Amino acid sequence: MAVVEGIANAISGTPGVTLLGHEMDADHNRSVITFAGEAEAVIEGAVRGVVQAAKTIQLPAHQGVHPRVGAADVVPFIPMEGSTMAHAVLAAYKAGEQIWEHAGVPVYFYGEAARRDSRKRLEKVRRQGFDGAPPDIGNIPVHPTAGASVVGARQFLLAYNFDLVTDDVAIATKIAHAIRESSGGFPYVKAIGLYLESRKRAQVSMNLTDFTKIPLEELYHRIQQMAQELGTSVADGEVIGFVPRAAYQKDPAFFARASNFNESRIIETRLKQLVR
C-alpha cells in the first residue's frame, strides 16, 4: 500500500491535477490510479507517476495474475468534454518522450496513438517479446527493473469483473473465451479467466472497450447462463476505476450488480464532488 500511495501522491502533487481515486488488488497485484485536468498538467502527472513507479517497483520480483509488461504498465489518455482524440494522442506522444527522458523506461504506443498496426490492440503489445520490433521511444526493449510502459489514447472503457461461486479457473477461462470478441463472442469485449487466491474464487475479468455497442444485460445473462451450465453461478460483480455517466444511464441494472458500485463511481459525479 505504501508503494501505491507514493505513486498516487506523486501524481496528485502535480499542479492542476485532480486525483479522482486509486485502488489496488492483491491477487491481480495491480493498481489503477485515475486523475484529470488540463492536458499539460495530466501529462506531467503521468510522467511523475511513472518515474515513482520505476523507482519503487521491481518487476522481476513481481507476481500477480494479471498480464503486465511494466511497473507502470499502461498509461492511457482519454479525452473528456472540451477535448478531442487528437489532443489525447498528442498528450500520449509528449508523455512517452518524457517517460524515456526522466525514467529511462521504453515506451510502446497503443490505441489511437499506435504508430504501427501491430500495436493498436493492447493485448498484442503485451505478448511475449512484443512484436519483435524496437520500442517506439527508447533504445532498449525493457528497463531492467521497471520493464516498459504502454502509452496510448483511447475512449472510455469499462473494467468490470464477475466473480464465480467456484475456485475452478478453467470454468472462468471457458466463459471468457466464449464471450470475448477475439474468440467470436461479443464485439468490443476482452476477457480472461483468473483465479483469486484471497477470495478462493475464479473470476471473469473484462475490458469493455466500447460500451455504446455492447448489450450489457445480454452479456451478463450469457455469463450467468454459461456459469449455470458449467455447474456454478455468478457471485457478484465489481467495477474497477470509474465509468462515464452515459454508460450508467445505458444500463443501470448492469452496474447495480457490482457490489462496489455507487454514484461516486460515475466520473462526472466524482469530478463535481472534488472540483468546486
Active-site annotation holder among 22, 28, 62, 66: 66
Distances (CA, A) of 225 to 114, 163, 164, 221, 230: 37, 14, 12, 6, 9
Instruction: Provide φ and ψ at 211, rounded to 5°.
Output: -65, -20
Q: What DSSP designation does 94 have?
A: H
Cell match 513507479: residue?
A: 53
- What residues are paired with 150 via a beta bridge? 74, 108
Q: What DSSP designation does 160 have?
A: E
Cell match 483469486: residue?
A: 196
Residues 6 or more apart whose Cβ sits within 8 Å of residue 98 = 43, 47
Active site residue 66: yes
SS3 255: helix
Residues 6 or more apart whose Cβ sits within 8 Å of residue 43 = 91, 94, 95, 98
List, in sequence order, every beta strand (DSSP E) within the chain: 18-25, 30-36, 74-77, 107-111, 149-153, 158-164, 189-196, 201-208, 234-240
Q: Which residues are catalytic?
A: 66
